[in-house]
Chains A and B, each alone.
Chain A
């Protein structure tokens, strides 16, 4: 955005097309032998192309999880034309295609460019896709819509010449709600929109992250005026770029830099850098923000009767159950945000078929102000829906397997692709998620358990955010056998907490029985039906739940 190279294309769409054409040439040069794999690898990674367990994988950026109908249709087209009919929405609100051929990827990037999408900076040691709250612009508790700021940060960070070779990858999240739904404390930089004395600004967090060393971030600035957001972010990343470790990739994330140097030293260097850089941004942020805020202006909400919605709720139990579970409060009267979970019985968490994507695009266009969101818990959100349209939406979702009433419940499990697809994985995640979901449905316990957040990662890199699950499950390779560690008490929302390991790991076949014992103990121990598992855990501590997980050890003691 602020790169002054004169040869650079002026607009984003031109730039995206330019990059797609450039990658087409790079692929051709790799195939004709002009480029070795060592030369080509960093080029393909810059364009989101990984080599995974079975095939290449293309990771496409979905900026702050926001899509319009046309963009969703292009994602469906890619799934049906170049993949095996589906795509996988990730915990960073991107989409991954698991089976593209290298020779087809230039065509995929061309198709994405037609709707302004790309795969740039979805890999490599760069600033990755900025994430935010899936209910941005709709949530009733919002200080301000975080998307204009996310868009500003996207423009600033995309192809930022200084930050293409950071010590390690870098993730920024921004939250606008009174409740943090963007997990800002678990990001390299987290921004929370706040207001102070009538002025809007940010509480700035730094040094959070999961992976093999999970650390919650610390506040580096308790109030940053909004006009200073870019120079301050630039100061943080520049400070990290110089002082972050490059000798050991496992100690290269900013969380380690901040931990080793201390927040005060890191803050001092950042503030010095901020002073040096601030003048270059004078007026820039205000002008850019103005344009973005217009682009993200609220749609024209209609004032319509809600009788049909009320009638459908009273007549149809399944519809009532779905609306009880999968709606979130909207700031406009008569409106709701709809969570379409990609967690139907037997489904792979986060997977959507091309057909399902097209249906969601059609529904967004017809009923949802052409707005779709991908949430970090691997679901799709229709943020703006008038409740009178909900019966029609439900009836359309139901035959497509998209009307499961489980948002925020036991079977709404976050799971990374694990060893079913990922070359870094040490165990599978998907079958564990499927087995747990199937078990509690079969036992009829899901509604009784209520709100529960289970997160599964197939390796220590923690793409499934297992540390933040009320129940976290980490798949490992123990002497050539899949083994699963369970962590308890994690939370990414109201009280950000890293879950604590409960004890020894379980073989795959013992995970479901262990979680079953845990849930039955919780149902016995909870104070009242509304006390969630995490609340009971906080009240009682780990011991009664550990005893449920490891009954033999408890008896022996």
Chain B
């Protein structure tokens, strides 16, 4: 599965994990971890990505289950390459829960 993925220019990737305390999905950014997958750092260089993955795994007091996964360059940031990651980036399809709801709340809050 996606944990063995190594990025390249043709197939870039992002590092994702779960927040240790709360469990929600997070993506590695240049400054830490974000709930918004569009903030993620997009890796095209295998060596840099592997180094950052080691750093991510080393932050075991913050996140759990860090892995590299393929992503695509999008107009507003990285986008998922596979539907599994697309669901992780939005939430379940039967309830408006998960990241789709959290980002929606943040969006509303920023427009108040």
- Residues of chain A touching chain B, judged by Cβ–Cβ distance below 8 Å, are 30-31, 33, 36-37, 51, 53-56, 84, 86, 98-103, 348, 351, 419-421, 428, 430-431, 434, 477, 480-482
Is residue B77 within 8 Å, beta carbon to beta carbon, of the partner chain? no
B23, B61, B81, B95: the one within 8 Å of A102 (CB): B23
Query: Do A54 and B60 touch across chains, with their CB atoms under 8 A apart?
Result: no
B residues 32-90 in Cβ contact with A at 8 Å: 60-61, 64-65, 81-84, 87-88
Query: Do A100 and B20 touch across chains, with their CB atoms under 8 A apart?
Result: no
- Residues of chain B touching chain A, judged by Cβ–Cβ distance below 8 Å, are 18, 20-25, 60-61, 64-65, 81-84, 87-88, 91-95, 97-99
Number of residue pairs spanning A and B whose beta carbons lie under 8 angstroms apart: 76
Task: Tell me, in angstroms, the Cα distance from A86 to B95 when the chains sit together.
Answer: 11
Query: Do A420 and B23 touch across chains, with their CB atoms under 8 A apart?
Result: no
Query: Do A51 and B64 touch across chains, with their CB atoms under 8 A apart?
Result: yes
Measured CB to CB, the closest approach of chain A to B65, in angstroms, equals: 6
Task: Tell me, in angstroms, the Cα distance from A10 to B26 when the chains sit together.
Answer: 44
What residues of B have a CB within 8 angstroms of the CB of A33 in the complex?
60-61
For chain B, what secondary structure do more than half of its interface residues adopt (helix, strand, loop), or is it mixed? loop
Task: Tell me, in angstroms, the Cα distance from A6 to B91 when the chains sit together.
Answer: 48
Q: Which 6 A-B pairs rank lowest in CB-CB distance, beginning with the nearest? A: A420-B92, A56-B23, A55-B23, A101-B22, A348-B94, A430-B94
26 residue pairs of the A-B complex, CB under 8 angstroms, read A31-B21, A36-B60, A37-B60, A37-B64, A51-B18, A51-B23, A53-B84, A53-B87, A54-B91, A54-B97, A55-B18, A55-B98, A56-B23, A84-B97, A102-B21, A102-B22, A102-B23, A103-B21, A419-B83, A419-B84, A420-B87, A420-B92, A428-B93, A431-B93, A477-B83, A481-B83
Query: Do B25 and A54 touch across chains, with their CB atoms under 8 A apart?
Result: yes
Given A348-B94, A420-B93, A431-B94 in contact, is the A102-B20 Cβ separation under 8 Å? Answer: yes
Given A54-B24, A103-B22, A430-B93 in contact, is the A419-B60 Cβ separation under 8 Å? Answer: no
Which residue from chain A places its CB closest to the CB of B64 in the assembled complex?
A37
Task: Tell me, in angstroms, the Cα distance from A250 to B44 when the chains sit together.
Answer: 35
What residues of B have a CB within 8 angstroms of the CB of A36 in the complex?
60
Task: Tell me, in angstroms, the Cα distance from A51 to B22 when the chains sit together.
Answer: 11
Measured CB to CB, the closest approach of chain B to A522, in angstroms, equals: 28
What residues of B have a CB within 8 angstroms of the CB of A431 in the complex?
93-94
